[in-house]
Amino acid sequence: MNIAVMGAGAVGCYYGGMLARAGHAVTLIGRPQHVEAIRRDGLLLDTRTFRQHVRLEASTEVNAVRGADLILFCVKSTDTEIAADEMKPHLKPQALVLTLQNGVDNAERLQARLSQVVVPTVVYVATEMAGPGHLKHHGRGELVIATTAASEGIAKTFAEAGIPTQVSDNVIGALWMKLILNCAYNALSAITQLPYGRVVPGESVEGVMRDVVQECVAVAQAGGVRLPGDAWQVVAGLVQTMPTQYSSTAQDLARGKRSEIDHLNGYVMRKGESLGVPTPVNRTLFALVKLIEARQATAA
Amino acid sequence: MNIAVMGAGAVGCYYGGMLARAGHAVTLIGRPQHVEAIRRDGLLLDTRTFRQHVRLEASTEVNAVRGADLILFCVKSTDTEIAADEMKPHLKPQALVLTLQNGVDNAERLQARLSQVVVPTVVYVATEMAGPGHLKHHGRGELVIATTAASEGIAKTFAEAGIPTQVSDNVIGALWMKLILNCAYNALSAITQLPYGRVVPGESVEGVMRDVVQECVAVAQAGGVRLPGDAWQVVAGLVQTMPTQYSSTAQDLARGKRSEIDHLNGYVMRKGESLGVPTPVNRTLFALVKLIEARQATAA
């Protein structure tokens, strides 16, 4: 299969690397520092089970999507529209686009701009770029993709490449479940610059997290979303498995980068407004992250 | 009159200095750096209308309250009990104690430990210690004191010393109004380390502040407090008069000091719990300030 990864950060490099290792023709599209290192040395896939340099194509140019049958769309939720417009003129008419992103509405936003089929996908993986061209895998790696005519075939291809992939008719519910996790942890860790294991035991924090979850569940239900499981149990369980983790939002703020908060607590807030469901705690967390971003933007 | 100021920070030095300047025998009880400077050079009263070195007594020892007819009690709300116990053995039986503090329950907490009459007082002044023994006055200076047998006499004495003082039967309502202002501004400014003029225009911030005010008003009403005026109007007006101001909580966090948040949003939260009034946004702001304090305590 001819595969392109649009936005080759830690998620895109992991899945692109696994597919290239299985013999597929993969092109990573990403930032110069990674592209240069990958062209020179290959992608270093440094996983829980093996460590290997994988040879594949890499480019900083969006037109490298040309010829791809499958696009793994891995840009930040804040960049979905821009990246869609950039790649649109170069896409094959029959190309299939999988959204491997945080947030629940990326596939919808992308589909609004592309005539190709867009398949919402849930990603369960812990990875980071440990250096230029160096992908560090901390655990998991499963995908869940929405039901389409092509989904079973893709799931089989992925499974053969070591990527456990499930086809589901409730990907939106699973994306919401991830969204709720992100809403409960990301902003608190970001605002305080603390890891989950130090956030959760804080005075009155459990009540705050319960409020966040309850607001999210109310919005999801008002929007007709079917949540697969008890959201609070999932949220309460996460801290035990990753006590030393800082949220991606915390990492973005620490690096002075724009975060995805518009697509996390900000999304729940806007969705709640449109559905008439109050979300005061999500709004508070959203407003605080935006203020800190604005302060940093001025300071920079 | 023989007057002692317990906790001679910026508020205590202003009122103590004004009374000493009018001829009263005033003793300031405070930290060594200020006490040394004041003993050497007098207190520099650097006000909006004059600049003058005022001679008065200063001590680091609590037993300097001995002999005072009037105590201006100006310690942080977090230190009320400790300071009460320290000064208790040295107080004259007939001494009168005025609480010039943030928070609404200091007089009650102090009265629970002292047999002397405690008079809740509302302070409207903007001051800071600009250096050792150097009191900088930015504006205002009025007091409102609760009705007691002695209150009219005190108000007259204070007025003659240039301190406009009103006697009121609703000091608790006025203290609540100040509490609501503090709840709406202090934590937001502290968590983001931004001045009011940059907090208020932030995305979704007005909604957050409205939620804070609405929760506070609901708790006050459930507690039988009569608020003098429209709380939201007072809150919305403050930013216009002090756009460059950082809250005292912001200053405490910036200096790595423990803040008064337990007696601001934390008080509203606890009072709400005891009255069955939900305060999710006050709780969120409280929890975040506590987490940041805890992080700083570990880092220090």
Same domain, B35 and B93: yes
Would the CB atoms of A288 and B207 count as touching at under 8 Å? no
Same domain, B17 and B164: yes
Report the residue of chain A nearest B202, measured CA to CA: A291
Would the CB atoms of B269 and A193 count as touching at under 8 Å? no
Choose, out of B267, B269, B291, the residue to mutate when testing the contact with A (most A CBs < 10 Å): B291
Query: pLDDT tens digits for A201-225?
Result: 999 999 999 999 999 999 999 999 9
- Those of residues 199-258 in A touching chain B at CB distance below 8 A are 199, 202-205, 207-208, 211
Same domain, A256 and A123: no
Q: What is the pLDDT of residue B193?
A: 97
Same domain, B75 and B180: no
How close B284 comes to chain A (CA, Å)?
6
Same domain, B130 and B183: no
Would the CB atoms of A287 and B191 count as touching at under 8 Å? no
* pLDDT greater than 80 at residue B104: yes
Would the CB atoms of B208 and A283 count as touching at under 8 Å? yes
Same domain, A158 and A27: yes
Would the CB atoms of B202 and A285 count as touching at under 8 Å? no
| H or E element at residue A176 | helix A171-192
Same domain, B94 and B60: yes
How close A21 comes to chain B (CA, Å)?
43
* pLDDT greater than 80 at residue B300: no
Chain A residues whose CB is inside 8 A of the B202 CB are 287, 290-291, 294
Would the CB atoms of B207 and A283 count as touching at under 8 Å? yes
- Those of residues 66-85 in A touching chain B at CB distance below 8 A are none
Q: One-letter amino acid identity for B296?
A: Q
Chain B residues whose CB is inside 8 A of the A259 CB are none
Same domain, B53 and B145: yes
Q: Which of A169, A185, A210 is the last residue of a domain?
A: A169
Number of domains present in the structure of chain A = 2
What distance in Å separates the CA atoms of residue A15 and residue B227, rounded to the nearest whole number? 60
Whole-angstrom distance between the N-terminal and C-terminal Cα of chain B? 44
Same domain, B144 and B272: no
Residues of chain A with pLDDT under 70: 300
What distance in Å separates the CA atoms of residue A92 and residue B239, rounded to the nearest whole number? 55
How close B295 comes to chain A (CA, Å)?
7
Chain B residues whose CB is inside 8 A of the A288 CB are 188, 191-192, 288
- Report CA B262 to chain centroid distance, whole Å: 14
Considering CB atoms only, which of B208, B291, B292 is closest to A284?
B208
- Kindly state whether B264 is in contact with chain A, defined as any CB-CB distance less than 8 angstroms: no
Chain B residues whose CB is inside 8 A of the A203 CB are 286-287, 290
Q: Which of A114, A136, A169 is the last residue of a domain?
A: A169
* pLDDT greater than 90 at residue B205: yes
What distance in Å separates the CA atoms of residue A14 and residue B47, rounded to the nearest whole number? 64
Same domain, B7 and B144: yes
Query: What percentage of residues in chain B have a pLDDT greater than 70?
Result: 100
Domain enclosing residue B21, as ranges: 2-169
Would the CB atoms of A283 and B202 count as touching at under 8 Å? no
| H or E element at residue B239 | helix B231-241
Q: What is the pLDDT of residue B8?
A: 96
Considering CB atoms only, which of B193, B269, B280 is closest to A281?
B280
Report the residue of chain A nearest B201, measured CA to CA: A291
* pLDDT greater than 80 at residue B229: yes
What distance in Å separates the CA atoms of residue A147 and residue B140, rounded to the nearest whole number? 68
Q: What is the pLDDT of residue A59?
A: 98
How close A130 comes to chain B (CA, Å)?
26
- Kindly state whether A290 is in contact with chain B, defined as any CB-CB distance less than 8 angstroms: yes
Chain A residues whose CB is inside 8 A of the B292 CB are 192
At how many degrees (to 10) do helices A280-299 and B171-192 cross?
A: 50
Q: One-letter amino acid identity for B176?
A: W
- Mean pLDDT, chain B, rounded, equals 97
Q: What is the pLDDT of residue B299?
A: 80
Closest Cα to residue A262, out of B204, B185, B283?
Answer: B204
Q: What is the pLDDT of residue A258?
A: 92
Q: Which of B169, B184, B204 is the last residue of a domain?
A: B169
Q: One-letter amino acid identity for B117?
A: V
Chain A residues whose CB is inside 8 A of the B204 CB are 269, 283, 286-287, 290
How close B21 comes to chain A (CA, Å)?
43
- Report CA B178 to chain centroid distance, whole Å: 9
- CATH number for the domain spanning A231: value is 1.10.1040.10
Q: Please provide the DSSP assignment of B13-78 as one string.
A: HHHHHHHHHTT-EEEEE--HHHHHHHHHH-EEEE-SS-EEEE--EEES-GGGGTT-SEEEE-S-GG
Chain B residues whose CB is inside 8 A of the A287 CB are 202-205, 207-208
How many CB pairs (< 8 A) connect A and B? 87
Which 8-state DSSP code applies to residue B246? P
Query: pLDDT tens digits for A218-267?
Result: 999 999 999 999 999 999 999 998 899 999 999 999 999 999 999 999 99
Same domain, B156 and B188: no
Same domain, B135 and B198: no
Query: pLDDT tens digits for B29-72?
Result: 999 999 999 999 999 999 999 999 999 999 999 999 999 999 99
Residue A264, CB-side half-sphere exposure with 13 Å CA sphere: 29
- CATH number for the domain spanning A69: value is 3.40.50.720
Q: What is the pLDDT of residue A299?
A: 80
* φ, ψ (nearest 5 deg) of residue B64: -70, -5
Query: pLDDT tens digits for B133-168?
Result: 999 998 899 999 999 999 999 999 999 999 999 999
What distance in Å separates the CA atoms of residue B147 and residue B132, rounded to the nearest whole number? 35
Choose, out of B288, B289, B292, B296, the residue to mutate when testing the contact with A (most A CBs < 10 Å): B288
**Hey, which residues does A26 pair with through a beta bridge?**
A3
Report the residue of chain A nearest B295, measured CA to CA: A194
Task: Find out whether B215 and B268 touch, Cβ atoms under 8 Å.
Answer: yes
Would the CB atoms of A294 and B269 count as touching at under 8 Å? no
Q: How many CB atoms lie within 10 A of CB A29?
A: 29
Token pair listed for B23: 């001829």
CA gyration radius, chain B: 19
Q: What is the pLDDT of residue A234?
A: 96
Q: Is B196 helix (H, G, I), strand (E, B) or coil?
A: helix
User: What was the ipTM of the complex prediction?
Assistant: 0.92
Q: What is the pLDDT of residue B298?
A: 87
What distance in Å separates the CA atoms of residue B108 and residue B122, rounded to the nearest whole number? 14
